[in-house]
Chain A
């Protein structure tokens, strides 16, 4: 570890806070570059693909890029909550698959749209809260608890579906929510944006949101300060499950069917976007704006590369590479911060 005491104080990480005030010109510039590096990268990618792939900047393509990402986007916002409070939720991939099958199963057995949608949302919330209770009350490490819950869910997914794709009697409203359009954007995109806006407000500008960050920063200090840290963590897991429930509705509506193999593959993209988010807007913290930028960055990269017609294996290489590079930059920043202690 470096021991230089004051080197680069002015240039390195600042005590940037949500109120957005800065303490110096140089610091502001450095913070801007650091906090919006991924935004610049996103814009650069857009320009490059715009210039090289003729079909990239068409309404149709942009619409499809966005609508494809709504499921991942909600899952990313979901996993952010446990991450903020210092925990992992590995069940989200299995959960989105399970809830999709659950909705399709209920619809196939004649239940009404309200019950189908309600049970997907409530089911997600309850399973999320159960994850929280396992980690906080039963004191199982969240990594293991949520993995165990995920595997159990996968079993139920197989059981409910019988290994078949369920497609009969999916409610029209679900289809509409997932794939319908309102104005230039899909309804699901509007809803995802709405959730992002609300969560941004809650996390950045309310005491509840700030106490999530406090718990993640030091659970002991937060506890001593009078916060009910275990309850906050359970709420975080519950929020994760709830958002995954919404994501499952979109997924069901977009494909019009529920595939028992769907879900687990979405775990890594969701985490990748959340980790990418740490490098943006408020460097060093999981945050909504950063996560949204992270999702768009991965989506644009994915789409542009497909339009270029690169071999299929380049996609994961691109996604993983972007994630590693961004997180390495973020770590370098975090190290600079710690030196000042």
Chain B
């Protein structure tokens, strides 16, 4: 097993060196183009210091790790159609805690066709073998439905993630817009004690333009959540009413609020009716500074406390400063509360309500070097969880380089 891991590491290192040499000779870093087709192989190497590699509340252990990723991006672009694909494989090796080394990999394919004044169709699918943070998860957003509204964003265990999503959007008239989105997500864990999760999520939204700069909208949403440890599925549905601005000002806001009904699997507890909201705002402060903020809430089955579910609320804010065309600085922060519906059993056998309050901060700098095939980045992140079951905090500091053809 160890020999195999070393072999993979050696292969990745050789690929990185070979590709780096090739990219330096090849130069431009804009991909290989053939008519409307483009492919762009890349290598990403980063080194990270992690203050608490096991996210332990006590006996925090720090370590350094090296992340290597090799991948290929491909795209097809023509009038009214754009398709893109990503395939990648990676390996993480720790300096001291080598039993935590792991490999990862996956693929993402997406396609967009049409115009909203006729009909705009989008679809994507993905499979990712992940440990730790799912760094490519944000590339699977479809129809404005976020992954964290389907699966619990609450474990760093080794897992296989499958995804399919599709959306239809149309401007019915000059004043009426309609959008429909669906996404399927499944998480299969490679660890005893973690139940696999499957989520189906649908959303229908209609908007009516009230003034030149604003519209009112209604969102109907619903879906199923299945946990492999429970025979029955949870289902939920709800409605939000809201308003949004059209982007003629420097501030764009979309916010909706309503109610959600969450029906738990039979025999696992009482159903829940709760306030539901989803809001996003963008503020173009100057041509170089951009501010973003948002928040949402919902109810999710748990992969760990299998007959339980949590009401989650998450809010975030961030800023991007494009100091130069080649330099971008970003700062973001988020706060999340997971409030479990039923009391949980503690190791000492007692029962207690569980609430996890987490916060995260991230600062990042990206630099596109004069050699357009190479970009550099530095990032630091801090997250802390305050829970009556487990507390921890963790700081990471990374530097990395991305080479692409």
Please determine whether chains A and B interact with each other in the same assembly. Answer: no
Interface residues of A (CB under 8 A from B): none
Residues of chain B at the chain A interface (Cβ within 8 Å):
none
